[in-house]
Amino acid sequence: MYMTMIPGPNNEMITASIAPAYGSTANYYQGTQGKKTIATGGTFPKTVVSGSITTYGNPVLIMCSGDANPASAGTYGVIQLYRGSTALCQTIQYESSDANENVPYNISCIDPVSAGTYTYYMKVNEMAGGNTDFGESSSPNFILTELSRV
């Protein structure tokens, strides 16, 4: 079952349940790939986590959440979602005023694609001040969902 959002009077949102087509199942990827340390220096962007999905030609919702744990005071970085080498959505910046400050993040966007197999990534576009661990206690949670098949 999935939800449809319909704007109502006075711009409030009305939700309606619509049963999925007979025999359809959700098409998704959910994965964690362990703690990842991204070092300052070198060539950016650098991959934190990735996953692949084969679609039927419907938009894909990409979501990644977790914590960035800078090793040094004054560290900052910029993260973004990608399809292959194509940057998607807006960037999100994390920064710390002290070492070992966990900075939670949640980044998401919708990618309208045709049928095919796609690999998505969360990458660090730039970073300064020191290395950053992504997932101090657990790794980032990376989810890909083809929207009209849920």
Q: Look at residue 21 in the predicted model and tell me its pLDDT.
A: 53
Cα–Cα nearest to 136, from 109, 97, 105, 108: 105
Q: How far is CA 65 from CA 47, 70, 103, in A?
A: 14, 16, 11
What's residue 26's pLDDT? 80
Q: Is the pLDDT of residue 12 over 60?
A: no
Q: Which fold has domain 25-149?
A: Jelly Rolls (2.60.120)
Domain ranges for the chain, please list them: 25-149
Could you tell me the maximum CA-CA distance found in the chain, to the nearest angstrom?
A: 55
Tokens encoding 32:
């964690």
- Other CB atoms within 10 A of residue 28 CB: 15
Q: What percent of the chain has pLDDT over 70?
A: 83
> Is the CB of residue 68 less than 8 Å from the CB of residue 103?
yes
71 CB contacts (<8 Å, ≥6 apart)? 99, 100, 130, 131, 132, 133
**pTM score, whole prediction:** 0.82
- Per-residue pLDDT at 124: 98
For 50-80, what is each residue's pLDDT tens digit? 999 999 999 999 999 999 999 999 999 999 9
pLDDT band, very low/low/confident/very high, at 138 (cuts 50, 70, 90): confident
Q: How confident is the model at residue 95 (pLDDT cuts 50, 70, 90)?
A: very high
Say which range, 25-34, 94-103, 114-123, has the weakest mean pLDDT: 25-34
For residue 34 the two structure tokens come to: 């362990």
